[in-house]
Amino acid sequence: VRRLERFADVRRERRGTTALVPTMGFLHEGHLSLVEAAAAAADTVVVSLFVNPLQFDDPADLDRYPRDPERDAALAGDAGATILFSPPPDEVYPAPPAVRVIPGPPGDGMEGSRRPGHFAGVATVVAKLFAGLQPDRAHFGRKDAQQLVVVSRLAADLSFPVEVVGGPTVREQDGLALSSRNVFLPSADRTAALALSRGLMAAASAAEAGERSGAALEGLVAAEVAGGGILELEYAVLAGAADAARIARLDRPAFLAAAVRVGGLRLIDNVWLLPDGTADRGITLDRPSILYGGGP
């Protein structure tokens, strides 16, 4: 894998069609499944690695965000990346950006209302990656459901000639959705945190069995989360896949998303649902994640 730090170098080096996998590093199997999908679909696969300060609403979260660029380069290369783009901050932000991308309603609820400015930060950096790297496709995880909607609308509404592609949430053996921040979860909190995925799986099963009421599906998540008494539910929302707006019935493609607090951490997770009750729960690993020391 070539390691490049300048937008212009990537534009010069790439050959044929280009797929981009934007990341903030500390890669896990969720990222790697996106890289594999990108490699199957394009000649040049660029994995970007940039911890974007503009999208952190909490400075402590930015400071402690886990980083391991050497390991990321090895993992990305093994998964099929041809270029690892890890720009220094001044390449992405030569000056504090006066012009920013404000995502509008898709970025307002759920994560947007709990993390002020977060989606403007995401949309601004993704627009810069699209403009600077000029990929044909870009792969994002469905784990960050609202982000995927925001980025899809960004590409469509601002006419970026980029196809935005969603990839499955990858889960640990016990159901916990992979996130780089999981390495900070103490084991007692981790056990409690499993109520989040359990609640979502119960809701997915209910949808498959015919439940279409948003309140009922959201309530299944809330009940499971409340049961353990340790997690604090921030929200459980059934939202349309096209615009991330809350819906009362599962009558269009949608996702059921939830956020909890445990200890000092926030965890988010979701399942994607179709009006016929089909549920996409993501995929589950059959071994411990490389987040805990496996891999190179």
Catalytic residue numbers, as ranges: 31
CB of 191 to ligand PAF, least distance (A): 26
CB of 28 to ligand PAF, least distance (A): 11
Angle at 290 between CA 181 and CA 81, to 5 degrees: 95
CB of 73 to ligand PAF, least distance (A): 16
Taking phi over 0 as left and psi of -120 to 50 as alpha, with beta for the rest, 138 belongs to beta
Q: According to the binding rule CB under 6 A, does residue 120 interact with ligand PAF?
A: no
Q: According to the binding rule CB under 6 A, does residue 92 interact with ligand PAF?
A: no
- The window from 71-79, 109-117, 118-126, 181-189 that contacts ligand PAF (CB under 6 A) reads 118-126
Q: According to the binding rule CB under 6 A, does residue 179 interact with ligand PAF?
A: no
- Site residues for ligand PAF, 24-53, by CB under 6 A, read 24, 52
- Site residues for ligand PAF, 227-286, by CB under 6 A, read none
Instruction: Read off the tokens for 179.
Output: 């996130």
d(CA 279, CA 269): 14
Buried-exposed string 79-115: b where 16+ CB fall within 10 A, e elsewhere: bbbbbbbbbeeebbbeeeeeeebebbebbebbbbeeb
Interface residue with ligand PAF, options 29, 36, 111, 144 (CB under 6 A): 144
Q: According to the binding rule CB under 6 A, does residue 124 interact with ligand PAF?
A: no
Instruction: Read off the tokens for 34.
Output: 């996106």
Q: Are 255 and 272 in contact (CB under 8 A)?
A: yes
Interface residue with ligand PAF, options 18, 33, 44, 55 (CB under 6 A): 55
d(CA 192, CA 102): 35
Q: Which residues bind ligand PAF (CB under 6 A)?
A: 22-24, 52, 55, 122, 125-126, 144, 147
